[in-house]
């Protein structure tokens, strides 16, 4: 049983009728859980209700954990891998309401995660390693209040990333994810290292694995365009357009061995949404691509 700790490209031709059903189902699920949390007195707000932020501590949208070591922070949840000294996934909802709040100045409070019972990596593990302390939940995704941002600096949320990957194509994907969430209202986000692939090596006294690649999967359950997209990107500099790494979510599941959104939808609807990718529903930025090629990759 999972240990639960709480702190406060294949392109298919999906059925439009089924997709509409998914949207209705997602809206019903979101509404029911919102009402349940209100009834139970949990501190959770809806992105449409005028609340300043969304506090997590909800289980219904979480992926499966292969380690059984699930840690709930207030503003995101993770599944920790002691073997690799980092999360195998982090999961959270990213809302337009959160992103429209005034941004706080970025912190730098990297520190071990006190909720990792086996102990997490430390900042010293990364010192002189040649790798960046790469966020899985970006600090900018949680810049709407001090506690939310500060939580992103737990070392359980950090993974070794090549410098020009972290500051290049990974930055581009993070910025586009925020743009898509602003446009669509809300996204379910799951991110992590691809630990099923042989690591590039280890760093530090704690033996932190250096992932060969990273993934991000996004789900939009709001009507009228229910959609999902996945990415797997090698942990290295890239001069390729970001859309070339896009794929259906079920392809990411095949590589990582993780079932991402099974708890959100009945099996038939899950297969429909995760098995199809319509790239036209995700707006990519030529300007950001040019910035990456001409500037970000060389920082």
pLDDT in tens, 242-273: 999 999 999 999 999 999 987 776 677 788 88
Find the catalytic residue in 72, 73, 84, 135. 135
Encode pLDDT of 149-204 as tens digits: 999 999 999 999 999 999 999 999 999 999 999 999 999 999 999 999 999 999 99
User: pTM to 2 decimals?
Assistant: 0.82
CATH number of 210's domain: 3.40.570.10
Please tell me the total count of domains within the chain: 1
CA distance 184 to 222: 8
Locate 251 and state its tokens. Answer: 């392809």
Tokens representing 41 are 């007195």
135 is catalytic: yes
Confidence of residue 47 (pLDDT cuts 50, 70, 90): very low
Q: Identify whether the C-beta of residue 227 lies closer than 8 Å to the C-beta of residue 24.
A: no
Rounded CA-CA distance 45/54 in Å is 5
Residue 233's contacts (CB-CB under 8 Å, 6 or more residues apart) are: 165, 169, 170, 173, 213, 214, 215, 245
Range of the domain at 84: 3-298
- 293: its two tokens: 């090629």
């Amino acid at each position: 049983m999972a240990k639960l700790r709480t702190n406060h490209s294949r392109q298919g031709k999906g059925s439009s009728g089924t997709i509409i059903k998914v949207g209705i189902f997602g809206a019903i699920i979101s509404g029911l859980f919102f009402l349940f949390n209100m009834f139970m007195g949990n501190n959770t707000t809806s992105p449409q209700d005028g609340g300043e932020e969304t506090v997590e501590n909800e289980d219904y949208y979480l992926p499966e954990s292969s380690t059984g070591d699930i840690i709930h922070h207030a503003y995101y949840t993770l599944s920790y891998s002691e073997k690799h000294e980092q999360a195998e996934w982090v999961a959270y909802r990213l809302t337009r309401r959160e992103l429209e709040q005034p941004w706080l100045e970025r912190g730098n409070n990297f520190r071990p995660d006190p909720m990792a019972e086996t102990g997490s990596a430390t900042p010293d593990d990364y010192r002189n390693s040649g790798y960046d302390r790469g966020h899985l939940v970006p600090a900018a995704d949680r810049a709407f209040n001090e506690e939310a941002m500060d939580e992103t600096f737990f070392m359980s949320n950090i993974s070794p990333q090549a410098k020009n990957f972290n500051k290049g194509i990974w930055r581009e994907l993070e910025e586009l994810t925020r743009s898509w969430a602003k446009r669509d209202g809300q996204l379910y986000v799951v991110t992590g290292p691809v630990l099923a692939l042989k690591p590039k090596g280890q760093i530090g006294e704690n033996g932190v694995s250096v992932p060969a690649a990273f993934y991000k999967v996004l789900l939009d359950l709001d009507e009228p365009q229910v959609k999902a997209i996945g990415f797997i990107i090698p942990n290295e500099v890239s001069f390729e357009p970001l859309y070339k790494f896009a794929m259906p979510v079920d392809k990411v599941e095949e590589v990582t061995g993780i079932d991402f959104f099974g708890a959100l939808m009945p099996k038939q609807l899950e297969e429909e949404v995760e098995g199809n990718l319509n790239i036209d529903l995700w707006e990519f930025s030529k300007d950001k691509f040019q910035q990456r090629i001409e500037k970000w990759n060389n920082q």
